[in-house]
Structure formats: structure tokens, C-alpha cells
Structure 1
């Protein structure tokens, strides 16, 4: 999608952090943007700030972990802009805790927001992008933790899922003129460590798995890293804009974790090397 001006984008988790960075970069490129977020106050503030720059934007409040609310947000987008060309599945939460501190509520919260909402977003917006025949792009925010497991296994599980989904859909949707990209950011200055501020009541207890000593220490360390080393979300937004224009399969924010990714693939290759000269038994003919 080389010419983004005049196209329409729907961005979840758009009131702050990476989502706002993406919405801002797209709006500056002439894209009409529907910002979607669960946090009404922050959403109103973000929309007002962008409108002050003469950007053609609107906001819609939705809890993306509820499919019906995501559908309603899609309906509002079509009512306001008529078409959708770009879907950015960005809303996400952190947490889940370490082994020994997991809860069912914690797993449900992460799976619903980080993975199921991406599935639902594609299921709802994919046909809308197809319908006008003008092509489009789907960008889903995973994490570098979608390629290398971090301190929170539940979080990594959801992000690995987003990577796998994006990789598979890229081949499926290409003939339909829809590109698919997966964003795998590293350390970005966002509010993800404060995700529980928007915890829906039905997930009560989801944040309880972060209360043990190991989890508290990991959270404090990560919070400090985000504050001292985190990349500006506006820069990430510009990378995503470029990724959409050039249909990048993977969008990375920096090379900090590249050695860890290379080490993972080296371990995978070593697994193949161990059995390379062995001949597995096969069913006999006849």
C-alpha cells in the first residue's frame, strides 16, 4: 500500500503507547483513523490531540476481549468512514505471572485480550477489507517475546500465537490483495506494566499471579528498563507505517534481542543435527 493518503485504518489500544504512536503516524500520512480503546478518558484526549492537527480521526470505546464490542466498533467505523483498509490489532496486556503463580483468571485475561481479540479482529475486519477490492493490510502487535520466551510464559504463549497466526495468514490473504505483518517490538516506553488499571471485573484475580517475590522483582526490573531504555512509541509508529507501505512480513523496532533469536534458532537446528544421520522406520509397502 504505497499510497496511504485517503485510506482508513482501525487501531486498537490506540489511546496510548504503541497504538497511539501508530495512529499518529498513519494520521500524519493522510490516513483516516478510528482509534479504539477501553480507556475512555485517554481515548478522548488522544482523539482531541490528533484532531487539533486537522487529522481525520474518531474514537470508539470497546473492550476487545468481548467480541460483540469489537463488532460494534467495526460497525461504528463503517458508519463513520465507509470503508476500512488497514487493521491494526494492537491492544495488549502484560502479566500472567511466573510458574507457581498462575491463575485461571490470569490466563483467560491474557488469552482473550492478546490472542482471541486478534483472531476476532481479523474475522470481523478481514471481510470488510475484502469487500471493497482496493486491497489492504493487517498488522498485529506481538512482541519480541513472540520469538523468545521471557519471564512470563502466559504472555509469551499469547504472543507466539499472534506470530503464528500472522505467518499463516500472510500466504492465505495475499491472493486477496491483503498484506499481513506482525509487529515484534522490544523495549518500548508504554504503560503495559500497568495493564491491570483496565482489568474488567469478570477477570477478577487475574493480576494476583504477580504478587510473589520473583514476579515482583521481575516487574520492577522490567519497569525500570522500559523507563530508561524504552524506545519512543512515535518512532515505532513510523516503522509500522513504513511496514504497511512496503508489506513487511516482520516489523522489528531494534536489534537488541537479535542474538537471543539467533540462539533460539541455533538450538532448533541443533535438534535436527542430532537426528540428521538416523533413518526413521517407515511403513512397509504392501
Structure 2
């Protein structure tokens, strides 16, 4: 999508962090943006700040882990802007607990926000893009943890899922004029370590305890420090705009974890080498 000016985008998790960076960069490129978030106060503030720059934006509150609320947000977007050309599935949460700590509620929440909302977003917005025939782009936020399983198990599973979904849909949707990109950020200055602030009431009691967050673990302290010194979300947003304009399959924010990805692929290659030359039984 070379000419983004005048197009419309829908961005989830848009009131702060990477989502706000993407929404801001899109607005600066002349895109009309519907910001979607679960936090009303933060959303109102983000929308007001963007409107102050003469950006054509609006906001809608939704818990994207609930399909009905995401559908209602899509309906509100069409009512406000008419068409949607860019879908950014960005909402995400951390936590989930390590082995021996997780529970059903923590899996439900992490899967619902990080993966199912992406699936539903594509299910809801894909046909809208097809219908207007003007082309489109779907960008879904995974993580470097979607290529190297280095965080909590539930988080890793959801992010690998977003990568797999994006890779698998890229060919089929290209035939329909819709590009598909997956964003795999490294350490970005966000509030991901404070995900519990948006924990739905229906899950809060079931998720009380160590399964919610990584707490005072060494990994948590390292992650908090890295995130605090991380990359500017607006820079990530600018990369995403470039990725949309050029239909990048993968959008990375830096090369910090490239050696880890190389090591993973080397381990996979070593697995093939172990059985090379053997004749399979049929």
C-alpha cells in the first residue's frame, strides 16, 4: 500500500506503548485511525493528543479477548470511517506464569488477548477489506518470543501462533489484494510488565497468585530494566508504516536477537542431519 494518505486503520492496544506509536505514525502519514483499547482514560487521552495535531482519529473501548466486543468495535469503525484498509492486531499481555505456576485462567487470558483477538481480527476485518476492493494490509504484533521461546510458556505459545498465522495467510490473502506482516519487536518502552492493570474482573480471582506475573524473579528484573531502556514506540510505529508501504513479511525493530534466531535454526538443521541418509520405513 504505497499511498496511505486518506486510508483508514484500526489499531488495538492503541492507548499506549507500541499501539500508540503505530497509531501516531499512521496518523502522521495521513491515515484516519480508530484507536481501540480496554483502558478508557488512557484511550481518551491518546485520542485527544492526536486530535490536537489535526489528525483524523477516534477511539473505541473494547476487551479484545471477547469476540463480541471486537465485532462491536469493528462496527463502530465502519460507522465512523466507512472503510478499513489497515488492521493492526497489536493488543498484548505478559505474564502467564512458568511451568508449575500457570492455571486455566492465566492461559485463557493470555491466549484470548495475544492470539484469539488476532484470529478474530482477521476474521472480522478481512472480509471488510475484500469488500471494498481497494487493497489492504494486516499487521499483527508477535514478539521475538514468537521466534525464540524465551519467555513464559503461555506468552511463547501465543506469539509463535501469531507468527504461524501470519506466515500461513500471507499467500492466500495476497491473492485477494491484502498484504500480511508480522511485527516481532525486541525490548520496547511499554507497560507490558504491568499487564495486570487490565486484568478483567471475570478472571482476577482465579488468577491471583504467582501464575499472574513473573514477580521478583531474575528474569522479571532483567526484563524490566531492558524495557525501561528500550526502543521508542514511535520508532516502531515508523517501521510499521514502512513495512505496510512495502509489504514486508517480517517487521523487526533491531538485530539484538538475531543470533538467538540463528541458533534455533541451527538446532533445527542439526535435527535433520541426525536422520540424513536413513531410509524411512513405509
The answer on whether the counterparts of 2:137 and 2:178 sit within 8 Å (CA) in structure 1 is yes
Q: CA deviation at 1:155?
A: 0.3
Matched, 1:262 2:262: yes
Q: Please, what is the CA RMSD of the aligned residues? A: 1.3
- 5+ residue gaps, structure 2, are none
Matched, 1:221 2:222: yes
The answer on whether the counterparts of 2:94 and 2:213 sit within 8 Å (CA) in structure 1 is no
Q: Distance in 1 between matches of 2:201 and 2:48?
A: 29
The answer on whether the counterparts of 2:95 and 2:213 sit within 8 Å (CA) in structure 1 is no
Q: Distance in 2 between matches of 1:29 and 1:8?
A: 11
| Secondary structure, counterpart of 1:87 in structure 2 | strand
* 6-15 or 202-211, which deviates more: 202-211
1:142-181 paired onto structure 2 within 5 Å: 142-181=142-181
TM-score w.r.t. length of structure 1: 0.96
Q: CA deviation at 1:217?
A: 3.0
Q: Distance in 1 between matches of 2:166 and 2:268?
A: 21
Q: Distance in 2 between matches of 1:260 and 1:73?
A: 38
> Which residue number corresponds to residue 279 of structure 1?
279
> Which residue number corresponds to residue 46 of structure 1?
46
Q: CA deviation at 1:103?
A: 1.1
1:6-155 paired onto structure 2 within 5 Å: 6-155=6-155
Please list the CA deviations of residues 78-98 of structure 1 after superposition, one character each: whole Å capped at 9, or x if unmatched.
000000000000000001111
Q: CA deviation at 1:216?
A: 3.2
User: Structure 1 residues 50 and 175, CA, compared in 2 at 3 Å: closer, same or farther?
Assistant: same
Q: CA deviation at 1:218?
A: 2.0
Q: CA deviation at 1:210?
A: 4.4
User: Structure 1 residues 149 and 52, CA, compared in 2 at 3 Å: closer, same or farther?
Assistant: same
Q: Distance in 2 between matches of 1:253 and 1:280?
A: 42
Q: Distance in 1 between matches of 2:66 and 2:117?
A: 8
Q: CA deviation at 1:215?
A: 6.0
The answer on whether the counterparts of 1:97 and 1:215 sit within 8 Å (CA) in structure 2 is no
Q: Distance in 1 between matches of 2:209 and 2:25?
A: 36
Q: CA deviation at 1:45?
A: 0.3
Q: Distance in 2 between matches of 1:164 and 1:155?
A: 14
| Secondary structure, counterpart of 1:106 in structure 2 | helix
User: Structure 1 residues 207 and 137, CA, compared in 2 at 3 Å: closer, same or farther?
Assistant: farther
User: Structure 1 residues 212 and 4, CA, compared in 2 at 3 Å: closer, same or farther?
Assistant: closer
Q: Distance in 1 between matches of 2:270 and 2:118?
A: 33
| Secondary structure, counterpart of 2:175 in structure 1 | helix
Matched residues, number = 281
> Which residue number corresponds to residue 246 of structure 1?
246
